[in-house]
Amino acid sequence: MADTTSSSESLALALLTDIVRLILATLRLAALILENSAQILNLSMQHVASAPPSNEKAGTQRSVTLEASQSDNVYTGAMPLSPGLSTFAVADPESPVAQKGHEKSCQHTLFRPLPLFCDPKTLSRRFYCVTVGRQVGVFDSSVEAEEYTIYVKGAICKGYGTRQEAIDVFLAAHNRGTTHVIGG
């Protein structure tokens, strides 16, 4: 009788141990999934921030304004969230917060397109200036630049050999008033 009780207790203990191990393995897997999801979310936030406001009609043009005095601090003071990502630069001038000075930022950055500039420390060999598209700015990735210009009527994107050349072209286009964010 003692043998059967001891045997059933050891089986129950072994089963309980296996269940605990299974729960721990499941928790480890869930932690890995959450970590990877957080990384994916961080990578995709720049695309969310660049989406046009829901109240803007598709195909409408909006001029992006960047003060000349801000231009130096825009791309030298901002650092990307993680290596290889573009850096958010200047808040949209239509924002009530971003009226003067580069230190103020828009509180509603998720709803307003922002000029994007590539990371100053990038090792990219080509830089892409988008002056008309769903997002405007300077990018170090042709894939990213194409994402903002593909299927956009009248989109303008050109590649340059140096980061500074692409930035100069973008700022010149801006000063002429020819940078436009086109929704859609």
Asked if 138 and 117 count as a contact pair (C-beta separation under 8 A), the reply is yes
Residue 107 reports pLDDT greater than 50: no
Indicate the pairing of strand 127-133 with strand 180-182. Answer: parallel
- Give how far the C-alpha of residue 108 lies from the chain's centroid of Cα atoms, to the nearest Å: 15
pLDDT value of residue 133: 92
**What is the average per-residue pLDDT within 93-98?**
44
173 token code pair:
């286009």
CB neighbours of 151 closer than 8 A, spacing ≥ 6?
none
The pLDDT tens digits for 139-151 are 988 898 999 999 9
Q: Which residue in the block uniquely carries the two structure tokens 């990038």?
A: 122
- The better pLDDT of the pair 13, 32 is held by 13
The pLDDT tens digits for 121-179 are 778 789 999 999 998 999 988 898 999 999 999 999 999 998 889 989 998 999 999 99
* SS3 call for 157: strand
Q: Taking the CA atoms of 168, 183, 143 and 156 in sequence, report the sign of the dihedral they define.
A: negative
**Domain spans, the chain:** 11-41, 127-181
The pLDDT tens digits for 54-95 are 555 555 555 555 444 444 434 433 334 444 444 434 434 444
**What is the average per-residue pLDDT within 33-40?**
72
Q: What is the distance between the alpha carbons of residues 56 and 35, in angstroms, rounded to a whole number?
A: 34
Q: Taking the CA atoms of 49, 174, 166 and 150 in sequence, report the sign of the dihedral they define.
A: positive
CB neighbours of 181 closer than 8 A, spacing ≥ 6?
52, 61, 62, 64, 113, 133, 134, 135, 136
Q: Which CATH number fits domain 127-181: 3.30.70, 2.60.120, 3.40.970, 3.40.50?
A: 3.40.970
How many CB atoms within 10 Å of residue 127? Answer: 26
**What is the average per-residue pLDDT within 1-6?**
71
- What's at 162, amino acid-wise? T
pLDDT value of residue 76: 38
pLDDT value of residue 120: 72
pLDDT value of residue 173: 92
- The better pLDDT of the pair 34, 81 is held by 34
